[in-house]
Amino acid sequence: MSYRFDFGYILANGPALLEGLGMTVLVSVISIALAAAVGVVGAAVRVFRVPVLSQLFGFYVEFIRNTPLLAQLFFIFYGLPSLGLGLSVYWSGVAALTVWGGAYNVENMRGGFLAVSKGMREASQSLGLRPLHYLWLVAIPLGLRVAIPAMLNTSVSVLKNSSYLQAIGFAELTFVAMERVATEFRTLEMFAAIGVLYLVLVLILSFAVRRLEFHLQRPFRTS
């Protein structure tokens, strides 16, 4: 039995796929931005060894990195309502991706902060900069340059992991494809289409981050 790949089927389902793509982009962009913020705050707390908070962030990082994202997602969506903290499907997805990505970004940014030379911190202190000023004016700009490649990897993972949100009924790209496959059984076309779309998204994200890295490194170039 021969199988004929039907490009027309993909085109006919283009509007639905694009709608799912839009939801994937939206939830991913918000989650990536929030995860980066969590990473900066958590890394600063750990590097400066803020009492109690440093230990809490350390536990958070170890717990999230050593448990499955799907279990975390189910806990947020199905478990938190038992505690009176119910979230919508959309915000449950954002929360799960942010918590997951934030844990990795804490370590990414911590590595960046630790790469800033001790002399820079001593120079900042000699100039009378307070810890928050040192963090904002010195540690973050310099540490971010070191952390960007690792943070890009985490951001790409957050984007790809958004496909897990179909498990709680969030109508992102994979959910749309699975819905079509369940009713029309054109598996090859649907998964080929979303595979290409995810690839395009990752390439665009990588390009944007590389441009940011180029911009941040510009003051340090000699030619």
The arithmetic mean of pLDDT across residues 2-29, rounded, is: 89
Does the structure show a pLDDT above 70 at 77?
yes
Res 218 pLDDT > 60: yes
**Burial status of residue 221 (CB atoms within 10 A of its CB: 0-12, 13-18, 19 or more):** exposed
What pLDDT score does 40 carry?
A: 93
pLDDT of residue 34: 97
- Model pLDDT, residue 45: 92
Range name among 106-110, 126-130, 146-150 with the lowest pLDDT average: 126-130
Q: If DSSP codes are grouped into helix, strand and coil, which group holds residue 26?
A: helix
Q: What percent of the chain has pLDDT over 90?
A: 52
Is the C-alpha dihedral spanning 12, 15, 21, 23 positive or negative?
A: negative
Q: To the nearest whole number, what is the mean pLDDT of the chain?
A: 88
**Structure token digits, residue 133:** 């000023």
**177 or 2: which carries more pLDDT confidence?**
177
Q: Please report, rounded to a whole number, the percentage of residues in the chain having pLDDT higher than 70.
A: 96
User: Vertex 159, ends 213 and 29: CA angle to 5°?
Assistant: 70
Query: What is residue 214's predicted lDDT score, i.e. its pLDDT?
Result: 75
With both helix axes pointing from N to C terminus, report the angle between 89-115 and 14-47 in degrees, rounded to the nearest 10.
Answer: 40
Contact 75, 96 (CB under 8 A): no
Q: Give all domains of the chain, ordered by start, each with its CATH number.
A: 7-216 (1.10.3720.10)
pLDDT tens readout for residues 18-75: 999 999 999 999 999 999 999 999 999 998 888 999 999 999 999 999 999 999 999 9
pLDDT score of 121 more than 80: no
Q: Is 171 helix (H, G, I), strand (E, B) or coil?
A: coil
Q: Of 51-60, 95-104, 200-209, which range is least confident?
A: 200-209
Residue predicted with more confidence, 75 or 135:
75
Average pLDDT on 157-171 reads 93
pLDDT band at 206 (very low <50, low <70, confident <90, very high): confident
Burial of 116 (0-12, 13-18, 19+ CB in 10 A): buried
| Cα 104 from Cα 110, distance rounded (Å) | 10
H helix runs in 48-184, sequence order: 53-65, 69-74, 89-115, 118-126, 131-134, 140-161, 173-184
